[in-house]
Each structure stands twice: as structure tokens, then as C-alpha cells.
A = this chain, B = another copy of it.
């Protein structure tokens, strides 16, 4: 009998009625012969409510050990309610907190890493015909203190459980029915991918297709856990995320998807000395401000000076511009220029590895659509460009068509 770990997010368990619907869904799967371990998140809104209570108690820095004690109650409520709903349908089921399983983690409260998962109790329950309900997001450290894995940690819990149990598949149920070639709100002909590789998924996820937690995808890739993203309440096969196993590579498209991210800002430090340490002198202090820098490009120097360009989230634009203006002399820069009305478009695909010319095919398609390119950066399976934000949708659609990603009309 196949063993599945099924993870349900906060909106999927957002009400007692929804929990009951999930219970029915699990009953169908159980009746069909599946062995099931379920990992629910906290009911939507609950974690935010608890965080707000914590902030009232400690307006300054919240104690992370106690925050984990507090936040872990969110999932504990859901596992009890879901198990009750399963029992009400006549199924045998049992819930476990992270402490009870146990999900052993390191000591980093609020962002703990899973080190080991005991599987004895779970296998025993499965053998006795039970559905096992395990709290996501939480674990316990070697001192017996409750830990949490950070926002979205339930995905990681599910994948780690699937790895520990050697499950046939880890299924992530969410409010979308799979991973798409691009955002269907931008390109209506976007197509659900039946398969995607872990690497592609990582590139898509980091670009704003927030279907899955990056850590969970990394974890699944590391332990080779087949991961499937599918809709909680809609039928469908979803998207399977696996290694590129060669079998499917014959039909592998060159580009799997078009990812994009709005609200970017581009900042250019003009005429800094082209010498070791310049990049660090610019980016080190920005990183210290807890500002995340995304693309980084340095143009070839024409004389002894060079231009250094990078992107940040639009919200951080003013802060970074002010900061650099104030340090301009110190950095020895001629000037600072920037543009906070830009967006980023990326093509992603493992097919790029073995096929040259994908980047120029991308530039050609964008040129034909009259989309002007700013920064360009490439990696092994991705090419990203910065464009004027007004050209984002146009660019995405042009690329979607150029790489023939659209769904075949039925």
C-alpha cells in the first residue's frame, strides 16, 4: 500500500467546516487504500493572532523560547480538531505534537532545523490502520523545549516526515491546483505543469511563485522525496516535483516557466574604483541594515573605475538611496542613480543546460515586443532581466508565446 504524507495549509483548515471537508477527502483516500500521514498548519489567522498577543507582552524583543511555546498551540488545536473530524467519520486516527512524535530539532528557536524524526509510533499506527495527524511547523530540541521551524515550516515538516517515513509522495495541498508556466492572472493561456524539477521549482519559488517554501523544496531535493502540489478542494493531479530522471527529458521543454517579480528597484553606483573590496564596501553595510539585495551586476571597467548595479525590493529603495548618497564620498563614487519603477522577468528551465542560445532567443522575443532591457543576469537554469514595470505583462506574454508554453486549446 502506498504511503502519502499530506500537508494542508492554513486556509485549507481555516474553519471547522473546511476541516470536516478535508476529513471527508482523507476518508476517500483511506478507503481507496492509501496509508496516510496528515500535516495540518494552524487555522488561518491564528498564528498572527498569537504573534500579536506576544507583541503586547513584550513590545521590544520577544523571547523566542516562549514565542515557540505560544505559537505551537496553533497547530496543536488543528491536529486535535482534524483527528476528531476523522473519528466522527468512523475512521481510526491519532494526533501527535512535534514533541510527541518526536521531531527533534536544533536549538534555534523560531527557525529551528529538523535533525531527526522518530518513526516508531507512526509506523505502528499506520500498521494498525490509523490515519496519523502530525502537527506541522513544530519540533522539540534535546532539552525538551518546544521549537518552531519558522513561517511556512509546515511544508518542511511534511517533507521531512515523508523523507523519514520513505513515503511514496509528499502532497502539498494549497489553494492553487499546481505550478504554472507563469501567473495565469498575467497570461490567461498559462498552463499547469505536470512535472517540474526541484531546481526549476527553487528558481520559480524564489521569484515569487509562492506555492511552496524554498526550504521544503531544498529538503525534498536533498532526500529525493517526490513532491506534489495540488489543490485542496479542486480535483486534479497537480504538479509533481522530482529530479530530472532522464526519462522525461526527451520531451523536456527548453524553458519550463516564466517567473516574474514586481516592486523591484534598481540602484546604480557610478564610477567607483575597480579594485578588490569595492563590492563589499557597498553591499556589506546594506546587508547589515537587513535589506535583501537580489541581482548584482558589475559592468566591465572602462578605465580604473566601474559602475556597480543591484536590485532591492521597492520598499527599501529610499532607505538605500539615502544611505548611499550619504556615503558617496567615502565610497569614492561619482554619483548614485536609481529607478524604483522596474520589475524582473526570468525564464527558468533545466533544458537551458544542454541548449545554447536560449538567452538570445529571450532577448529577441523581448526586442520584438519593444521591451527595453535593464540589468541582465544569468545562472545555469535561469536568465533574468530587469524591465520598466509598465512592460512587465507584455514581456511575460511575449516570452510565454516565444517559448511555446501556452496550453493547447481544447
Contacts and interface: CB of A to CB of B under 8 A. Distances in A.
Interface of A: 16, 19-20, 50, 53-54, 56-60, 62-63, 65-67, 69-70, 72-73, 76-77, 79-81, 83-85, 87-88, 94-95, 97, 99-100, 144-146
26 contacts: A16-B53, A50-B77, A53-B77, A53-B81, A54-B84, A57-B81, A57-B85, A57-B88, A58-B84, A58-B85, A59-B88, A63-B83, A63-B87, A65-B94, A66-B87, A66-B95, A69-B76, A69-B83, A70-B76, A70-B84, A73-B73, A73-B76, A73-B77, A76-B76, A99-B100, A100-B145
A43 to B, nearest CB: 10
Among A73, A84, A85, A144, which residue has the most Cβ atoms of chain B within 10 A? Answer: A84
Contacts of A144: 100
A58 B87 contact: yes
Contacts of A57: 16, 19-20, 81, 84-85, 88
Q: Within the oligomer, what is the number of copies of this chain?
A: 2
The 3 tightest CB contacts between A and B, nearest first, are: A70-B80, A57-B84, A73-B73
A315 B408 CA distance: 71
A88 B73 contact: no
A69 B60 contact: no
A60 B88 contact: yes
B88 A58 contact: yes
A85 B62 CA distance: 10
A66 B84 contact: yes
A41 to B, nearest CB: 15
Most chain B C-beta atoms within 10 Å of own C-beta, residue among A72, A76, A81: A81
A56 B87 contact: no
Given A87-B63, A99-B99, A144-B100, A69 B58 contact: no
A132 B73 CA distance: 20
B95 A81 contact: no
A97 B58 CA distance: 20
Contacts of A70: 76-77, 80-81, 84
A79 B58 CA distance: 14
Contacts of A16: 53, 56-57
A91 to B, nearest CB: 11
A97 B69 contact: yes
